[in-house]
Amino acid sequence: MPKTIEAIYENGILRPIASLKLKEHQLVKITFVPAEIKEIPPMVKRIIDHLSAPLPARSSDDIIQDTQIDAD
């Protein structure tokens, strides 16, 4: 009987989220259907927010001063 389960692919291994009632060495067929992300994890949201923040306003003189090398 067909059954749909969720799994995570990590380091080359497909790991079911819940335990499966299978016999040892039982052959199964797998159909891949990418799951939709229901919610963005908080850490990923913080990273996106950080990367999306506007850059501080700086004058061209400040940028030039930061890139100059002291030749002394």
Higher confidence at residue 62 or residue 11?
A: 11
Distance CA 28, CA 3 (A): 11
Q: Is the pLDDT of residue 51 over 80?
A: yes
Distance CA 25, CA 69 (A): 65
Q: Is the pLDDT of residue 70 over 70?
A: no
Residue 8's beta-bridge partner residues?
Answer: 15
Each residue of 18-43: pLDDT tens digit? 988 889 999 988 888 777 777 778 88
Distance CA 1, CA 71 (A): 76
